[in-house]
Amino acid sequence: MHRPVRALLTVLFLVASVAIAAPAPAAPLPRAKGCKGLVALTFDDGPARGTTHRLLQILQKKRVPATFFMVGQRVAADPRAAREVERAGFLTANHSWDHRDMRTQSYREVRQSLRATRRAMKRAGLHPTDLMRPPYGALAPPARRAIRDAGYVPVMWSADSLDWKSGDADQIARRILGGLRPGKRNIVLQHDGVNRSPISVAAVSQVIRVAKRRGYCFTALDERGRPGFPTPTVTATAKDGTEGGEAVVTLRLDKPAGRDTAVVVEALSGTATVGADLPPLHLRVEIPAGRLKAKVRIPITADAVAEPTEHFTLRLRHPEGLRIVQETTQVAVLDVPPPTAPAAPATRTDLPGPPFLALGPKYS
C-alpha cells in the first residue's frame, strides 16, 4: 500500500435527525471582559407554530442564541414546531406538562409532570437540557425536592418583560432594556406560547439592537442555568477503512451546544503511513449549532500487495466549545487482495481406450 494518494478528503456533516428549518449558527461565546454584561433570552410556554417560527427567524437573522422552556402538552400537540427550535440551533428545556402552579402539586405530581414533558420532547426528536422553569416561578418545598431528585436545575429570571400582561412592542422592549444590569448575568423572561406572544416577538429585534449598542453580549444558558453555554463532550468512533475505499470517522456530541463548535482532527502514522496509505490530515471540523455529529471520510490508497491489517491513529485537538473525552482513536485499514483472473478451463485430452483383445477359448 505505498502509492501516492490522489483522492481528496471530504467532510460530510449529518444532522442528528431530520431538519425542519435550515440551521443557522448561533453567536460565539462572548468574552466577559469585552461585554458590559451578559444577556440570556428565554422564552416560555411554547412551542406555538407560527409565533415560534417567526421568533426563530429573528434570532437566526440577528445571530443571537436563546433557550426555550417548553410545555409538554404543546410539544406533544405539535412536535414539528418543537423540533424546529432545536434544529435551528437553540437549546430546549422543561416547563412542566400543563403549566400548573407547582405550589398546588404534590411531590409525585411534579415528578410526573417533568417526566411526561421530557418524554414528549424525546419523542419529538429533541435533546432537552436538564434545565427547568416552574410555571409562574412558583415553588414549594415538595416541588423543590421533586425537581432536585429528578436531576433538574430550576431557572428563574432577572428581567421580566410582563409581555403576557400588557404593553405594545415598544413598551415591552423598554421594560426588558430597563431591567438589564451592567456587570451582571441577565436572564430575560418572554413568552412564545401565550395570546400576546406575537407582540412580544415583535419587541425582540429592538431589544437586541439597543442592548448590543449599549455593550451587552447575548448568550444562552449553561448547565447551571446561568448565562453562558453548555460544554458538550465530543467522541470519535471509526469505521475501518479498506484499500481503494475510505475510513469513516464520526464525531458525536453528547448534548446540544447552543452554538457552533469545532475540533481539529489529525491522522498519525502507525503501520499504515500518512502520506502514502492515506492523505495528510489536519482538519478543523465544525459542528454547527443544532447538530450533534459530523463525519470525516478519509480515502485509502489501494495496491496489489497482499498485506495484514494495518492501523493509523486519529487524534482530536484544539476543541472549541467542546470537551474531549478520549484524545486518540485507532483506525484499521483492511487489505483487499486484487481480484484474480478466473481459472481457464482445463484442456480435455481423450485417452485411447483399452486395447481390444480377441477372446480365447471359453473356460467353464
Just list the catalytic residues.
44, 191
Closest of 240, 232, 231, 233 to residue 329, by C-alpha: 240
Answer whether 75's CB lies under 8 Å from 124's CB.
Answer: yes
DSSP code, position 124: T
Distance between CA atoms of 72 and 56, rounded to whole angstroms?
19
Q: How many residues does the chain have?
A: 364
**How many CB atoms neighbour CB 226 within 10 A?**
14
Q: Which residue has the cell 440570556?
A: 40
Sign of CA dihedral 90, 94, 97, 100: negative
- Kindly provide the b/e burial profile for residues 9-21, where b requires at least 16 CB atoms within 10 angstroms of the residue's own CB: bebeeeebeeebb
- At 159, give phi and psi (nearest 5°): -130, 110
Cell digits for 339? 481480484
CA distances from 358 to 332, 352, 362, 363 (A): 73, 18, 12, 14
CA distances from 284 to 134, 146, 174, 287 (A): 40, 43, 42, 10
Distance between CA atoms of 162 and 155, rounded to whole angstroms?
17
